[in-house]
Structure 1
Amino acid sequence: IEVIRDYEFSLPPLETQQRIAEILSSLDDKIDLLHRQNKTLESLSLTLFRHTFIENPKRNEWEEKPLSEIADFLNGLACQKLPPQNEINRLPVLKIKELREGITESSDWATSEVDSKYIVQNGDVIFSWSASLMVKIWNGQKCILNQHLFKITSAIYPKWFYYFWCLFHLENFISIALAQATTMGHIKRTDLDNAICSIPPKDFLDSMDKQISPIFDKIYNNSKQIQNLESLRDIMLPKLLSGEVEV
């Protein structure tokens, strides 16, 4: 403790500190605004989805398909078996913890020399099917899909469609996982086969896509801006404190 008390820190003048704080606070405010905007946009689009596809009486006349048919569910890799060979050809590993908290200094890394289908990009839909079940649109940096996670894609249906159907069935998936007498509850692909989705006529779906896809595009663009602002903030802070960059 005495060593810490005697340690002298090099700090910029108070006025400079205040100006640095103003700059960083403005970045944090913008990041927070974009996060809140995305939350509002997703809530609005989810409400529109539920009203149109869940509560609509016409859905009884529509075709029905299982979740496993409207999208492809790609399971991740055992990334602990794929350590990076160097400091260049590597990427962080997306596990359940990262899906919840984002990539951190404690995240694992793996070689980037894997099939491109296992690379996760900002905007991809990720489904944790084991332990902590959740469905999220990834809004972080490029990374590698770990086992116990699905990357969900579709060559036929728009992203918002299969994303919201996954969310709709998530509560039931969680109940299935909790009912298992294991320490790590999970769902099986047969559970995806049993999760039924209402499929409207193509012209109806196309009409809804024109309303909802622009909202998802806005969410994606906001997420990219958040990434850029967070990167800028993290780069600027040490440079401002050291005086390398003048305020």
Structure 2
Amino acid sequence: MRQSEWTVASFGSCADFQEGYVNPAQSVTAYFDGPISWLRAVDLNDGFVNETSRTLSVEGFKSAGKAATLFPAGTLAISKSGTIGRIGILQREMCGNRAVINVRPRPDRLDVRFAFYSMLLGRPQIERLAEGSVQKNLYVSALSKFSLFLPPLPEQRAIGATLGALDDKIELNRKMNATLEAMARALFRDWFVDFGPTRAKAEGRAPYLSPELWPLFPDRLDAEGKPEGWKIGTLGAVATARNEGVDPSAISPDTPYIGLEHMPRGSIALSDWEGAGKVSSNKAAFVAGDFLFGKLRPYFHKVGIAPVTGICSTDIVVVRPKSPAWGGFVIACISDEDFVAYTDKTSTGTKMPRTSWGVMAMYPVALPSSTLAGAFNATISPMLDRIRANIHESRTLAQTRDLLLPRLMSGELRVAEAERLAEVAL
């Protein structure tokens, strides 16, 4: 494909735009936590949008009246205020709030994925289109002026498919990690919260674990309602916090740095970090395999396993098991919804409530035998290892995509050559 066959076009000549206008009153609790995904700028992650951080009831959706619109899967979305230019491809039907513009490329002019990558590459231009002196806003009238460098549609589709293959694999890894994490969480709650195996034994039900694991569980519950022989203790009995401060001027700028902004909510698969070159204040040290817990109330559900060695914000508690055999128990415990609720309830402070390791360590737990804790660790360790491997693979895939992106979108690199380079990464 010759560059002479590429043309320059405005976004508005190739796509249709619609802002989200579903903004239910926050004071009406009945409007929320229903079946309808409610897209906000915070949900846009420069990739696929599978779910939203908040949902609406049918009543909440209809509160928008005639403006209540559901955008189908495949719609592009871009944030128009706050952090302008964050984009996403909706993977399911969603409605949007006023901070989001939804984009529908016209199929006879513009391929959806090519449009997505054009927006990703052209973010600096999009940011410059925002207007306002106090708070910048990206209006539809301005976004429609965004310039696209377009090859013919077949070439658009080929470019979108080549880059998309890398993102599809990244998305597959994300879904696999979510499944593995859900399996580990379910095991933890069954064994150590609901006491499923012990209850099954006490009720005379058939074993549902392997012959090696089943005998490790007590046969009955004691008078306190916990498995017989287990002790009531605290998290601090099996875990500790690492408190090692680091002066950023004394480390390499390439040292991985993790802040609260890098940690996903509700997932231990911590896949984002940056170099420490821009860090100026003292931070905390951690090593690969440590557990990181965001200690500010808005970030309590940000818990992850460090996939690399580096430094982190002092608003993150670095947790590690006192014995490796307890590692699985500790990470499953501090990422469990009951523990998050405990830290929320016991947090202190008015402007920005927070927890501390001293409070976290006092969390009451039913402690099994060390043998059973070790068996649980051995059971979920392959899952956690797979999660970490997927994280590193996805970062390599993303680096390959980012390398190919500008060269493909400018016509400098032919699709066939890009496909060969992508296949190496895949």
Q: TM-score, normalised by structure 1?
A: 0.77
* Structure 1: distance between partners of 2:376 and 2:149: 58
Contact (CA 8 Å) 1:91, 1:110: kept in 2 or not?
Answer: no
Residue 193 to residue 205, structure 1, CA distance change in 2 (3 Å): closer
Shift, 1:38, TM fit? 0.9
Query: Highest Rg: 1 or 2?
Result: 2
2:318 to 151, 155, 168: 151
Q: Deviations over 1:107-132 (max 9, x none)?
A: 97237xx99x71464x5421011242
Percent identity for Structure 1 against Structure 2: 22
Residue 50 in structure 1 maps to residue 189 in structure 2: yes
Partner of 1:242: 410
Shift, 1:144, TM fit? 2.1
Q: Deviations over 1:141-185 (max 9, x none)?
A: 7652111101222240343211111123111111222xx451110
Letter in 2 for 1:241: M
Letter in 2 for 1:222: N
Residue 212 in structure 1 maps to residue 380 in structure 2: yes
Shifted more, 13-22 versus 161-170: the winner is 13-22
Shift, 1:203, TM fit? 2.5
2:296 to 104, 124, 130: 130
* Structure 1: distance between partners of 2:412 and 2:167: 21
Q: TM-score, normalised by structure 2?
A: 0.47
Alignment length, in residue pairs?
234
Unaligned runs of 5+ in 1: none
3-state SS, counterpart of residue 153 of structure 1: strand
* Structure 1: distance between partners of 2:308 and 2:400: 14
Shift, 1:33, TM fit? 1.4
Letter in 2 for 1:137: G
3-state SS, counterpart of residue 292 of structure 2: strand
Two-structure CA RMSD over aligned residues (Å): 3.5
* Structure 2: distance between partners of 1:67 and 1:239: 52
Residue 5 to residue 164, structure 1, CA distance change in 2 (3 Å): closer
* Structure 1: distance between partners of 2:379 and 2:254: 38
Residue 229 in structure 1 maps to residue 371 in structure 2: no
* Structure 2: distance between partners of 1:6 and 1:93: 37
Residue 6 to residue 202, structure 1, CA distance change in 2 (3 Å): closer
2:365 to 176, 188, 197: 197
Contact (CA 8 Å) 1:76, 1:151: kept in 2 or not?
Answer: no
Letter in 1 for 2:304: I
2:261 to 97, 102, 118: 97
3-state SS, counterpart of residue 335 of structure 2: helix
Query: For residues 21-40 of structure 1, what are the structure 2 equivalents within 5 Å?
Result: 21-40=160-179
Letter in 1 for 2:234: P
Contact (CA 8 Å) 1:73, 1:150: kept in 2 or not?
Answer: yes
Shifted more, 146-155 versus 60-69: the winner is 60-69
3-state SS, counterpart of residue 59 of structure 1: coil
* Structure 1: distance between partners of 2:409 and 2:159: 8
1:170 to 316, 340, 356: 340
Letter in 1 for 2:333: W
Relative contact order higher in (CA < 8 Å, ≥ 6 apart) = 1
Partner of 2:180: 41
Q: Deviations over 1:68-118 (max 9, x none)?
A: 2322223575x8x74689xx634464222222484479x97237xx99x71
3-state SS, counterpart of residue 134 of structure 1: coil
Contact (CA 8 Å) 1:83, 1:109: kept in 2 or not?
Answer: no
Q: Return the structure number with greater helix share.
A: 1
Q: Deviations over 1:193-218 (max 9, x none)?
A: 32122322232223223321111111
Partner of 1:17: 156
Letter in 2 for 1:130: L
* Structure 2: distance between partners of 1:67 and 1:130: 19
Residue 143 to residue 246, structure 1, CA distance change in 2 (3 Å): farther
Contact (CA 8 Å) 2:234, 2:361: kept in 1 or not?
Answer: yes
